[in-house]
């Protein structure tokens, strides 16, 4: 009645999503997605810290 090929899998990863039915390949793909997102967030933090530091140096008396 249900065809596994017709089950739509999410393309991204949501924190807390069920992982029990995922294959090793799918889990590795999710890890890659999360690592890339962590890297992107770390770059954003670095950029904000640089901007903050530059602004603070301009307004020091």
9 contacts: CB under 8 Å, gap ≥ 6: 26
pLDDT at 59: 85
pLDDT at 14: 84
pLDDT at 60: 78
CA pair distance 2, 24, nearest whole angstrom: 23
Split the chain (61 residues) into runs of 10 and give each run's mean pLDDT.
58 84 94 95 97 88 62
pLDDT at 40: 97
Q: Running DSSP on this structure, what letter comes out for residue 7?
A: S
pLDDT at 25: 96
In contact, 41 and 61? CB cutoff 8 Å: no
CA pair distance 53, 4, nearest whole angstrom: 53
């Amino acid at each position: 009645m249900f065809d596994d090929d017709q089950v739509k899998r999410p393309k991204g990863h949501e924190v807390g999503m069920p992982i029990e039915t995922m294959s090793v390949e799918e889990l590795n793909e999710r890890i890659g997605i999360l690592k890339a997102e962590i890297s992107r967030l770390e770059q954003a933090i670095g950029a904000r810290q640089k901007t903050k530091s530059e602004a603070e140096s301009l307004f020091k008396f």
